[in-house]
Structure 1
Amino acid sequence: MECPKCFWLQKINGIHRPQQIFALQSNFDRILKPYFDKFRKEGKLPPELNGKVEGKLFEDQELLEKWRNALRPTLKYKHPRREGFFLAGGLDDCLFDGRYYIPVDFKTTGSSSFEENSEKYYQHQLDIYNFLLTESGYETKGLAYLVYYKPKEVSGEGLMKFQITVKKMGTEHKRALRLFEDAIELLEGPMPKSHSDCQFCSWANDFID
């Protein structure tokens, strides 16, 4: 987790970090998911994925919509011994390869070095997606994909072109479960100290009694 104190405040006190809103990022999932769905209906991969991923787009649109719903998650793992704790998430999309399910996550970035940094920022997220699929009865193969869309230029017609990078990522169930256990231990303890690199910790102090 990025900042233990912010995580604790959100889950225990209901104090959320202020959202940094970027129009492109906040609307991108809404645009990309129907775009992928169009190719799903045609039984094809989007051209930017051709030759770069294993399998094909998962065909069950109705089930995928349930997996996408992070507010009412169906991909959920309830801790077997710690009552009241569960791990959940919502996928962007999913590939299917024979009998294996492979999560796909969309990312929008302005960074010039996003390929090299992706594992650092998104590894836990992809570990959790594979873990949730497996615990829900869907076989995985320790694999996920990040699809980066980086704005490149705008044409005279107002059309935006993107630099698209597909990154294959290995995942580990043990790492996801360990993160879950660490999060539970954190939440059951006292409020953590402010993180030295977190700009929100001091802001949150104004809301603590």
Structure 2
Amino acid sequence: MNSNFIYLSPTKLALFQECPLCFWLAEKEKIERPRGPTATLPQSMDKLIKNYFDYYRGRGELPPEIAGKIKGKLIAQEILDDWRKNSKNSKPRYFNKEANAFLFGALDECLIVDDKYYIPVDYKTYGYNLKENSFAHYQLQLDCYTLMLEGEGLTHLNIAYLIYYIPEKIEENNLIRFKIEIREVKTNPEKAKDIFLKAIEILRNPNPPAPSPECKFCHWRKELKEKIERLYF
């Protein structure tokens, strides 16, 4: 394997957008932001939803609560099984020859329209009703998915779907009722490509970039350094 290859995911590009310095430190120096305990409920819900969709995929149907509300049909299970792997070598992924870099990531789901147009789908578990711009936080992720499909030579419609599962109430026999909200999001793979190349440029530079002025982690790091210097030096 070429050691000069760079592999980035949509999550890493989101960090780059938040703060170039935190991104550079994580990728170049393996110094990551401190993290608290990981919530396991969303992960469990994600697995349950995937199994639910796979059941209807086996029947050649869409789940009834979304049937007629989205375009296309579910792609074949054998294809999606590979696309769900969060591996550098799994598909779909985008390779930029000039940058010698890959963009990779795992898809929750994907639809196909007229047997030729692919639409990425992502499940989200939400604890409250959606706002008008609730999808904005996931725009880059969906742009990246579309770019990754392009990287495999697949055609698309410049759209993606977010399917939100919002708990409404607990019923008898320990059943939880969910409200399902679907958002069709226009995607821009060129924007994802631009962010991807800027992130690569940062990583090719041996010197660290400036932090984002809004980064609370870098602000804390700076304050801590100044406090220690005042106290001990």
Q: Which has the larger radius of gyration?
A: 2
* 1:36-55 matched pairs, under 5 angstroms: 36-55=53-72
* 1:1-209 matched pairs, under 5 angstroms: 1-17=17-33, 18-58=35-75, 60-72=76-88, 73-83=90-100, 85-98=101-114, 99-112=116-129, 114-189=130-205, 190-201=207-218
TM-score after normalising by structure 1: 0.87
Task: Tell which deviates more after alignment, 103-112 or 115-124.
Answer: 115-124
Gaps of 5+ in 1: none
Percent identity at matched positions? 39
2:218 maps to a residue whose letter is: C
CA contact (8 A) 1:149 1:163 kept: yes
1:140 maps to a residue whose letter is: H
CA distance in 1 between counterparts of 2:177 and 2:217 reads: 34
**1:66 deviation in Å?**
0.6
Give the secondary-structure state (helix, strand or coil) at the position aligned to 2:18: coil
CA contact (8 A) 1:110 1:150 kept: yes
Q: 1:202 to 1:147 in 2, by over 3 A?
A: same
CA distance in 2 between counterparts of 1:202 and 1:21 reads: 24
CA contact (8 A) 1:15 1:204 kept: no
Gaps of 5+ in 2: 1-16, 225-233
TM-score after normalising by structure 2: 0.79
